[in-house]
Amino acid sequence: MASAISKFLDHFVTQRELARWKKAAKKARTDDLSELRGTRAKAKALKSNLDALLHEADARLALPLLGSNVFPLPHGTDWSWRPELWRGPVPARGIASAPAKSRLGHEITLHHDCIHSELSLRQLRNTRAIDIAPYGLRMDVFAFDGSFLSLVIEMPDDALVGLRKTHLIRLTMRVELEKPLEMFARLNITQGPNTEQIVREFPVKGEETMIEFDLAYTDINEERLEKAWLDLIFEGPDMNQVTIRDLTLARCPRAEF
Digit-coded pLDDT (tens) for 82-133:
999 999 888 888 899 999 999 998 999 999 999 988 999 999 998 887 888 9
> 67: pLDDT confidence band, cut at 50, 70 and 90?
low
The backbone region for 202, taken as left when phi is positive above 0, alpha when psi lies in -120 to 50, beta otherwise, is: beta
According to the model, what pLDDT value does residue 184 have?
A: 96
56/238: higher pLDDT? 238
pLDDT(233) > 60: yes
Name the band, by pLDDT with cuts 50, 70 and 90, for residue 41: confident
Asked whether residue 69 is assigned to any structural domain, the reply reads: no
The amino acid at residue 4 is A
104, part of any domain:
yes
37, 62, 87 - which closes a domain:
62
The answer on 9 and 98 residing in a single domain is no
Mean pLDDT over residues 30-42, rounded?
80
**Domain identity same for 180 and 144:** yes
| Whether residue 214 is found in the same domain as residue 185 | yes
State the pLDDT at residue 239. 94
| Judgement on whether residues 165 and 203 belong to the same structural domain of the protein | yes
Please give the residue range of the domain that contains residue 198: 79-253
Same domain, yes or no: 129 and 241:
yes
- Please provide the average confidence, as pLDDT, over all residues in the chain: 85
For residues 55 and 93, membership in a common domain is answered with no
Q: Same domain, yes or no, for 38 and 92?
A: no
Give mean pLDDT, residues 54-68. 56
Q: Is 167 helix (H, G, I), strand (E, B) or coil?
A: strand
Parallel, antiparallel or unpaired: strands 108-112 and 182-191: unpaired
In a domain, 188, yes or no: yes
DSSP 131-153: --SSEEEEEEE-S--SS-EEEEE
Given 12, 30, 62, which residue is the final one in a domain? 62
Q: For residues 69 and 210, which has the higher predicted lDDT (pLDDT)?
A: 210
**In this predicted model, which residue has the larger pLDDT, 52 or 195?**
195
What pLDDT digit, counting tens, does each position of 163-195 carry? 999 999 999 999 999 999 999 999 999 988 889
Residue 70 lies in a domain: no
Question: Of 145, 150, 141, which Cα lies nearest the Cα of 116?
Answer: 145
Mean pLDDT lowest among 53-57, 75-79, 81-85: 53-57
Together in a domain, 173 and 241? yes
Is residue 71 included in any domain, yes or no? no
Predicted pLDDT of residue 163: 92
Number of domains observed in the structure of the chain: 2
In a domain, 73, yes or no: no
Q: Is 84 found in the same domain as 149?
A: yes
Cα gap 209→172, rounded to integer Å: 6
| Residue 212 sits in the same domain as residue 95 | yes
> SS3 breakdown of the chain: % helix, strand, coil, rounded to 5?
25, 35, 40
What is the structure's pLDDT at 29? 81
pLDDT > 90? residue 154: yes
The whole-number pLDDT of residue 231 equals: 97
Residues 220 and 109 in one domain: yes
Query: Which helix or strand (DSSP H or E) is residue 242 part of?
Result: strand 240-253
Answer yes or no: is pLDDT of 59 > 80: no
* CATH code, domain with 209: 2.60.120.260
CA 53, distance to chain mean position in Å, is 26
Co-location of 164 and 238 in the same domain: yes
Contact 211, 185 (CB under 8 A): yes
Distance, CA of 199 to CA of 187 (rounded, Å) = 7
Q: In this structure, is residue 145 part of a structural domain?
A: yes
CA 233 – CA 111 distance, rounded (Å): 9
